[in-house]
Amino acid sequence: MIGLLGASQYEPIVENLDERTIVSTRFGDVSVLKGRISDNTVFFIRRFGWHDNKASDVVNHAAHTLAFRMLGVRRVITLNGFGGVNHDFNVGDLVVYHDYVKMLERGPTTIFFGEQRWPRANMTDPFCTEIRETLINSARYNSNRNLHTMAVNICVQGPHNETPAEFEAFRRLGADIVSTAIYPEVVYYRELEMCFAGLSWITDSGSDNDEKNWVRIGVDELSSIVREAIKNIPDVSNCRCQSTWIGNESDHYNDTTSLPSWYLDIR
Ligand SMILES: [Zn+2]
């Protein structure tokens, strides 16, 4: 099973979509669509709300992540347009980012927030190396666009766009792209022992970031990339994403006995 996050315009990537169902999580209800890509069952969540009307700073990322996990999904791909910061990243380029810098405060800071104890997730590989590889290989084969296979995504609060001074500051910090998405959900995916990676494209660059001028990629072009990537994800994962809390029993913070009972019940 695969989870796909994106605006509603990208739903046609998934075939044979059913009517939406509601998944009730401890963080709230989530509308989920179920369909197929080749032999895989795919669940699609409209990441900006059912009506595409919620900016990232008010999206219920915790509910989205937990809904996928409760459905049995262990691998999730997100589709996003981001701003280019690195001068070598041009509008229309594809990006499979590998790391991020958090430049915002948005909660809950952990999917286990509110528990008496919560473990500390290892974020050495924040994005799944295996899914990134399949996305990169598929993008190379199915698109003529310039592709960046490594990129640091600086995550900002939004929803407004960035100033010219902020763009320059982010560039000097080592960022390649900027977005209002990805954090804190990336942490929840690691905490819930799930694979998470994204395919993005550069919508705008530098200080010329008025949304009415953003460049978007059509669903047909993305479909071929995403469908082949999902088809090629190995049946058994060879990454570290799905074993966050395994083998760390010597550290009491990472002891699985410190995981909340509600998570142990669905784990
Ligand atoms: Zn993984």
The tokens describing 84, both together, are 């280019």
Looking at residue 7, what is its pLDDT? 95
Predicted pLDDT at 244: 85
Q: Comparing C-alpha atoms, which of 153, 144, 24, 28 is closest to residue 78?
A: 153
In the reported structure, the alpha carbon of residue 51 is separated from the centroid of ligand 1 by a whole-number distance in angstroms of: 30
**How many A from CA of 210 to the centre of ligand 1?**
35
DSSP strand E in 137-256: where? 147-148, 152-156, 177-179, 195-205
Gap from CA of 207 to ligand 1 centroid (Å): 35
Query: For the segment 170-213, what is each residue's pLDDT rounded down to a tens digit?
Result: 999 999 999 999 999 999 999 999 999 999 999 988 666 777 77
Residue 117 Cα to ligand 1 middle (Å): 25
Specify the CATH number for the domain of residue 115. 3.40.50.1580
Give yes or no for a contact between 87 and 177, defined as CB atoms under 8 angstroms apart.
no
Q: Which residues of the chain have pLDDT under 70?
A: 117-118, 206-208, 247-257
Phi, psi of 158 (to 5 degrees): 65, -165
Give 228 Cα–ligand 1 centroid separation in angstroms. Answer: 17
Please tell me the predicted confidence (pLDDT) of residue 248: 56
Gap from CA of 8 to ligand 1 centroid (Å)? 25
Q: Which amino acid, residue 221?
A: E
**Location of structure tokens 């509008």:** 91
The domain tally of the chain equals 1
Taking the C-alpha atoms of residue 17 and residue 235, their distance in angstroms, rounded to an integer, is 22
- Alpha helix locations (H) across 34-151? 61-70, 129-142
Q: From the CA of 236, how far away is ligand 1's center (Å)?
A: 10
CA–CA gap between residue 186 and residue 61 (Å, rounded): 9
The pLDDT score that the predictor gives to residue 257 is 61
Domain region containing 116: 2-266
CA of 42 to the centre of ligand 1 (A): 16
pLDDT of residue 83: 93
Contacts of 171 (CB under 8 A, 6+ apart): 85, 86, 87
User: pTM for the full model?
Assistant: 0.94
State in Å: Cα 34 to ligand 1 middle.
22
Cα-to-centroid distance, 105 and ligand 1 (Å): 26
pLDDT digits 0-9 by tens, 123-151: 999 999 999 999 999 999 999 999 999 99
